[in-house]
Amino acid sequence: MPKGKGPKQDIAGKRYGRLVAISFTHFNEKFDDCWLFRCDCGTEKVMPAAHVKWGRVRSCGCLVAEHIQSLNRQDIPAEDIERLRELGDYYSKRRATSFLIQTHKKKVGRNDPCPCGSGKKYKHCCGRYI
């Protein structure tokens, strides 16, 4: 537990990406010092200071929203759109087939022969470290 009642480091007024530290609020359950940050968009949010200082968090969430809005389907050439649709269909069928194959297989028991073909029991071969 932290020795004092205040934050580990005073970061009030410092800027990290789009966030500016306003004031210390509390320690969370992991004893991280949590601060109130104000984003450039005007939103205020309480977050652990370490996440912001390490660059794990750069905004209140507005950065992701802006990035998503900047992506536009009209930016993709027509021939690529068709290719992406075909790839999507291919991978969805492949995923469904793989799921059906996996769910209809009988599980290998610990004392059954190993499916790798070594002749050993599963527990002494491929299932050894499971």
Model confidence band, residue 8 (pLDDT cutoffs 50, 70, 90): confident
CA distance 115 to 118: 8
- Sheet with 15-16, edge to edge strand ranges: 15-16, 19-27, 33-39, 44-48
Position 130 scores a pLDDT of: 66
pLDDT number for residue 25: 92
pLDDT at 19: 94
What φ, ψ does residue 64 adopt, rounded to 5°?
Answer: -65, -45
End-to-end CA distance of the chain: 37
DSSP letter assigned to residue 113: B
Q: What pLDDT, on a 0 to 100 scale, did the predictor assign at position 1? A: 44
Mean pLDDT over residues 58-68, rounded? 85
Average pLDDT over residues 94-109: 78
Percent of the chain with pLDDT over 70: 93
> Is the Cβ–Cβ distance between 109 and 122 less than 8 Å?
yes
Closest CA to 22 of 13, 10, 30: 13
Q: Is a pLDDT exceeding 50 seen at residue 107?
A: yes
Cα dihedral 47, 48, 54, 59, rounded to 10, equals: 0
